[in-house]
Amino acid sequence: MRVELVKNELILRKNKRERRNEKVYGLITILIPLVGFLVFSFVPMIISLWTSFQQPGDGNVRFEEMTFVGWNNFKFVLTDPRFWTAVGDTLLNCLVTPLCMVFGLIIAMLVSNPKLRGRTVFKAVFFLPYVCSIVATCSIWKMLLNPTFGPFNKILTSIGLGALDLNNPSQTMPIMIFLGVWSGVGFSIIMYSAALTNIDSGVVEASKVDGANAWQRFWNVTFPGVMPVSFFLLVTGIIGNLQDFTRFQILLPASSKRGVTIAYYLYDKLANTSPSTATISGAGIASAASWCLTILIIGISVIQFMANKKQGDSTK
């Protein structure tokens, strides 16, 4: 009897130990990405907050050389006309997302018709710009849009319209928006294609029997059916648009009158890339500008979420 009791104790203890080990293992492995986030995202965020109140010394980012300057950085940024141009252009850039969504939905609907031949080919073609690096995209379009010998301009001038020119301030943003849509529409197409297949075909048939024509079917069945995807694309798309940077930095000089998004402005300040236009620059200004941008992003996202909730409530 006693031996058995002791055996049971040992087994119990072993089980407890095993279960504890299991839990420890689970805890450790699940936390690794979180640790990465802490180290490479959270801590930097705090440091950025600190830097935004500092003025860097000659070494630009060396901590030892930074001096506290209070709200000066923010004051500079918020009174800098170039910053506000940047805000305007960044908000303009947000047009890319709705355009991507509209074209994406149209193309996804056209391609989803089962009687259409070559569907996979079409899908692949539209998605091609998305897998290209932004640098490659810029290189292609820089050539195409070259004012003197780019093919587009040659055709346009022969018709009689003026040449497209990135350096023409009034044409800069439309061209950049077009580039954004050109590269980004593939993503929307894929998402909408998947969402369309999830629409209950029975409801579509019911609407046919009820007498709805194609337009009515779209508004009452298709559009509501892809609403969740639309919301996702809108939110993530706009957040991305607000941070757009690469194609602007590649194709436009930092001194360009238009087309300097907030992120580009930020980068310019950080890297001192244009000493002539940057009277004040450095990591401090850059951090301050980053936080302004972050507040803008959070603000817009909150508005979007509230609008979505309101719409959900009203249709109840």
Partner 1 sequence: MLFKKKKVEDIAPEEAKPETLDSSTLNSIEEKEKSKEDLIENYVALINVNKFYDKGSHAVIDFNLEIGEQEFVVFVGPSGCGKSTTLRMIAGLEDISSGELYIDGQYSNDITPQNRDIAMVFQNYSLYPNLTVYDNMAFSLKVRGMPKDVIHARVMDAAKKLQITEYLDRKPKALSGGQRQRVALGRAVVREAKVFLMDEPLSNLDAKLRVSMRSEIVQLHRRIKATTIYVTHDQIEAMTMADRIVVMDKGLIQQVGSPKEIYHHPANKFVASFIGTPAMNFTTCRYEDGTLVFNDNKLALSKEQIKAHDAFYQEREKALVDDIQTLKKEIKEREDKLSSNSVKNRKEAKSLAASLETNKASIAKLEDDLAETANIIKNKSHEVIFGIRPEDIKANSGEDSFDASIVLCELLGDEYYLHFSYSGGDFLAKVSSELINNEKIKSMKFAFESKKIHLFDKETEKAIL
Partner 2 sequence: MRVEYVRNSSNAKKKVQTTKRELLIERIGSYIVLAILASIVVIPFYILLVSSFKTKGFIGFNNDPNPFSNMNFEGFKTALFGSIATFDDGSSKILLGLRNTFIIVLPSTVIGLFTSALSAYAAAKIRFKGRNVIFYIMLITTMIPGIVMMTPLVTIFTNLDLYNTYFPLMVPGMFGTAMCVFFLRQTFMAIPDDYIDAARLDGISHFKIFWKIVVPLSAPSLISQGILGFVAGYNDYLGPLLYLRGDDQWTVTLQTVLNEFLGQSSSNLYQALMAATVLSLIPTVVIFILCQKFFVKGIVNSGIK
Element (H, E) at 67: strand 67-68
Q: Which of 112, 168, 207, 274 binds partner 1 (CB under 8 A)?
A: 207
Q: Report the half-sphere exposure of 264 (CA within 13 A, side-chain side).
A: 28
Question: Which is nearer to partner 2, 3 or 215 (by Cβ)?
Answer: 215
The tokens describing 100, both together, are 């991507």
Which residues in the 215-254 window bind partner 1 by CB under 8 A? 216, 220-221, 224, 227
Q: Distance between CA 79 and CA 77 in Å, rounded?
A: 5
Question: Which is nearer to partner 2, 1 or 32 (by Cβ)?
Answer: 32
- Does 113 participate in binding partner 1 (rule CB under 8 A)? no
- Does 158 participate in binding partner 1 (rule CB under 8 A)? no
Question: Which is nearer to partner 2, 146 or 308 (by Cβ)?
Answer: 146
Which residues sit opposite 291 in a β-bridge? Answer: none
Residue 255 main-chain phi, psi, to 5 deg: -90, 5
Compute the Cα dihedral for 143, 254, 164, 247 and give only its sign: positive
Question: Which is nearer to partner 2, 158 or 314 (by Cβ)?
Answer: 158
Q: Distance between CA 249 and CA 272 in Å, rounded?
A: 13
CB 258 within 8 A of CB 270: no
Which residues in the 28-87 window bind partner 1 by CB under 8 A? none
- Does 316 participate in binding partner 1 (rule CB under 8 A)? yes
CB of 77: closest distance to partner 2 in angstroms? 13
Question: Which is nearer to partner 2, 177 or 242 (by Cβ)?
Answer: 242
Dihedral in degrees, nearest 10, Cα atoms 200, 202, 203, 205: 130
Of partner 2, partner 1, none, which one does residue 210 interact with (CB within 5 to 8 Å by kind)?
partner 1
Q: Distance between CA 268 and CA 88 in Å, rounded?
A: 17
Q: Which of 133, 205, 303, 310 binds partner 1 (CB under 8 A)?
A: 205
Q: Which of 81, 114, 211, 275 binds partner 1 (CB under 8 A)?
A: 211
CB of 138: closest distance to partner 2 in angstroms? 6
* Residues at the site binding partner 1, with contacts judged by CB under 8 A: 200, 202-203, 205-213, 216, 220-221, 224, 227, 315-316
